Amino acid sequence: MADNGIQIDEPKAADTVTATASAPVKKPAVPKRRPKQLPPYKVLLHNDDVNTFESVIATILKLTTLQPQEALLRTLEAHETGVALLLMTHKERAELYVDQFITFKITVTIEPDAV
């Protein structure tokens, strides 16, 4: 380059500037909102004089996630006491269970859980 009379001193070790990476700017923490839980509903299996134990148990196994032993116990309870708690879920799913059990001519009702 052309010499224009300006003298630039070479940096000395003491004159060097150390570059540090700054931490990313954090946004203020916004509390996370938990999804509102739907109120629980009981799905109740009712005893009847029409369906056999085998058909009720088979239907419970087909429509729910209950295991065979649980299905048997709930069917026996409904037979002996008139009604048994089959499962608990939110209202929309409980209503779906009612509709599904109706197609198999098995009486199931729902009611809100008294929490």
pLDDT in tens, 54-92: 999 999 999 999 999 999 999 999 999 999 999 999 999
User: Sign of torsion, CA 104 107 108 109?
Assistant: positive
In a domain, 79, yes or no: yes
In a domain, 59, yes or no: yes
Domain of residue 64 covers 49-112
In angstroms, the CA 99 to CA 115 distance is 25
In a domain, 63, yes or no: yes
Task: Give ∠ CA 37-40-42 in degrees, rounded to 5.
Answer: 165
What's the pLDDT tens digit per position in 25-45? 677 676 777 777 889 999 999
In angstroms, the CA 19 to CA 91 distance is 60
In a domain, 67, yes or no: yes
DSSP 27-56: PPPPPPPPPPPPPEEEEEEE--SSS-HHHH
Count of structural domains within the chain: 1
pTM: 0.69
